[in-house]
Structure 1
Amino acid sequence: MRRKATRDPVRERERRLWAAYGITGEEYRRMGAAQRWRCLVCGERAPKGVRLVVDHDHVTGYVRGLLHSECNAALGLLGDDPAVLERAGRYLSRAVDLRSQVH
């Protein structure tokens, strides 16, 4: 009986990158290095042991960059719509302004 080969986690990750986004592991690493391994939304580094996720346009498949999974999820929840994101930013700014007036 043949033993099932143990999967190489690096090769498996690279296979998933190619299947999902059409990029190689090398392209992922180049993108990360170009961003200084910082999320393009919040500007923070990923915590040790946590990878940045690939953000892409769901219509065109275009890879936009690497983000924290939470930042990527936030974009998706707001429909990847810049106008909605701008309104959300204005809403938060007003809330901060109002809070500072109360105290």
Structure 2
Amino acid sequence: MREYGSCGCVQREKASETHTKHGYHLKDAPRRAKWLWAQYRLAWEDYLARIEEQQGKCAICPRGIGADDPRTHVDHDHESGNVRGILCHYCNLALGYMEDDAERMRRAAEYIERTRSVPD
């Protein structure tokens, strides 16, 4: 048996019709839509359109993202509140750790390039 988070549903051998492949409960879609609106003033349809515009990929890297994946994040400017794009979990964390500081990110990229090992 496989248990899913807060919904308390239990799945046996095959995927339940009420869950996506990521274990995200479909009943949570309206809840997520309400949260997106309250948090970012982003309508569910606009959220889906952004993901489609990004061809189902993170706005920074080629990782796939999905509206039903709890690891998909809305990136926004913390000063203006404007939504910048939809990111994967890792890119969202990276921006957060870099405190949205573009100069710091450029220096980090330069550091990686400068210290990259070249195979023998």
Q: TM-score range by the shorter chain?
A: 0.7 to 0.9
Give deviations 1:48-81, integer Å, cap 9, x for gaps. Answer: x635210001110000000001101100110101
State the shift of 1:43 in Å.
2.4
In structure 2, the partner of 1:20 is 39
Q: Which residue of 2 aligns with 1:5?
A: none
Deviations 1:33-54 (A, max 9, x none): 000010011122138x635210
1:75 is matched with 95
2:12 maps to none
Matched residue type, 2:108: A
Q: Which letter maps to 1:36?
A: Q
User: 99, 104, 108: which is aligned to 1:84?
Assistant: 104
Partner secondary structure for residue 55 of structure 1: strand
Fraction of identical pairs, as percent: 34
Report the structure, 1 or 2, having the larger helix content. Answer: 1
**Structure 1 runs not aligned, ≥5 long:** 1-7
**Higher Rg of the two aligned structures:** 1
| Matching residue of 1:65 | 85
Calculate the aligned-residue CA RMSD, in Å: 1.7
Give 4+ residue runs of structure 1 displaced > 6 Å after superposition. none
TM-score, normalisation: structure 1: 0.81
Aligned to 1:39: 58
